Chains A and B, each alone.
Chain A
Amino acid sequence: MGLGRSVKHEWAMLRNLASSLIKNESIITTKARAKKTQALVENLITKAKKNYDKSLILADIFEPNVTIPKLYNVLKPRYQSRAGGYTRILNLEPRMNDKAPQVIMELVDNTQREMKLWYTAKIVARLELQNIAINPLTQKNVDKLLHNRENGEEKFREIVEICKKEFYSDPKSLENLPRMRNDINTFKKRDHPYKIVPRPVKRNNATVSTSS
């Protein structure tokens, strides 16, 4: 029993969260629930990657007509070059009502509704509009986000253009220039010269042996 409910209730809730994450690519929940669903979702994706029989997955998921085809047709090819780590958790401010720690949970490399990608795109858009060079930390984040994605560069540029148009059309939003020490977001830290060494991409020769 966890999360203040009976075993059956908890299990049903986790299944609900997992299936809505697979359906919508990103959800907002509390931190404890996100941590528990993470394990379930990762397990489901590895099962899909290993070509498990679909009847074995049926027990762990709701709305099988939508979620199971998505698992096998969309997520399986997307995560072929990854060995785990298909989900990401981003902290938010505590909830207004009861101060519960909130969290964004999302599938990695989904591009459509990926908050980390959009946030960094927003940062890049702002820096470009202010004519400031991109700082090494942001550059590192961009490289990390794009190096495992198909047509990552093009999609990122598209999102940056959308951000410029949508969020910075008002000149007031660009008045605030960074005045941090060493041009980094924290106040007291020193800027470390990050050395970026991207991992080797093994997308071309990634063919997981299937036993069916």
Chain B
Amino acid sequence: MSLSLNLNQIAVRVVGILPRIPEIHIAIPNIFQRRTEASTETHDPRILELIENLQDAEVPPFFIDNGILKAAPKKKVSHMKRRQKLYGPGKKQLSLLQNLNRCPACGNYKRSHTLCMHCVGQIRRHWNDSVPQQEAFREEFVNPLDEKILYPGKKELPDERTLRKKEWLKRRPRTLPVE
């Protein structure tokens, strides 16, 4: 609509001298539409008024659904009600663990029918350490100057060090000792 308006303005500016041709609107009646008196009676009077206005007016009005509202919540949900709905039910809350045992190997709590993760981690670390690992290949230089030129000393930045240590990883906390 705005585009057509602009075009009109441009046309007026360019050929302002020429007389303006009036726009023609012809309402073509729909043949298939059945119009009975009974159906019109059931309509809201505001709708009938709107239809009349639409037929008479040259340009359709901007607010088409004047005075008629669509389905929408009547009021904003309050803070209390929202929190009651989201966090109130017992299903959504954290529940206490009832299936707890004492780990016979370290004396701390563990889940029943599972292994204690601390002891498992200790054993696995021992396995991995006991495997003989190949030493990383390192070049040997006769002249130490060559090494300095080829591989100038690289400083490790503090944020790089934290990345290497993997401090950003979430670790499993150790369970409490059984009283």
Contact = CB atoms under 8 A, between A and B. Distances in A.
Interface string A108-127: 00000101001100110010
Contacts of A167: 119, 122, 126
Interface stretch (A12-20, A51-59, A68-76, A88-96): A88-96
Contacts of B179: 179
Contacts of B122: 122, 166-167
A167 B102 CA distance: 18
B112 A93 contact: no
B105 A119 contact: yes
B120 A123 contact: no
A91 B179 CA distance: 25
Interface stretch (B43-51, B85-93, B141-149, B170-178): B170-178
A115 B107 CA distance: 18
Nearest to B103: A185
A92 B178 contact: no
A145 interface: no
Contacts of A178: 102, 104, 107
A90 B104 contact: no
A91 B105 CA distance: 16
Contact of A173 (B106, B112, B115): B106
Interface residues of B, number: 26
Contacts of B113: 91
Interface centre among B103, B115, B122 (most CB of A within 10 A): B115
A113 B125 CA distance: 11
Contact of B107 (A104, A118, A176): A176
A156 to B, nearest CB: 14
B54 interface: no
B123 A91 contact: no
A179 B119 contact: no
Contacts of B177: 176
A185 B117 contact: no
Contacts of B123: 115, 118-119, 122
A186 B101 CA distance: 5
B115 A185 contact: no
A90 B105 contact: no
B82 interface: no
Interface of A: 90-93, 96, 104, 113, 115, 118-119, 122-123, 126, 138, 162, 166-167, 173, 176-180, 185-187
| 3 closest Cβ pairs, A-B complex | A176-B107, A122-B105, A91-B114
26 contacts: A91-B113, A92-B114, A92-B115, A92-B117, A92-B120, A93-B114, A93-B117, A96-B170, A96-B172, A104-B120, A115-B115, A115-B123, A119-B115, A122-B122, A126-B104, A126-B106, A167-B119, A167-B122, A176-B106, A180-B102, A185-B101, A185-B102, A185-B103, A186-B101, A187-B100, A187-B102
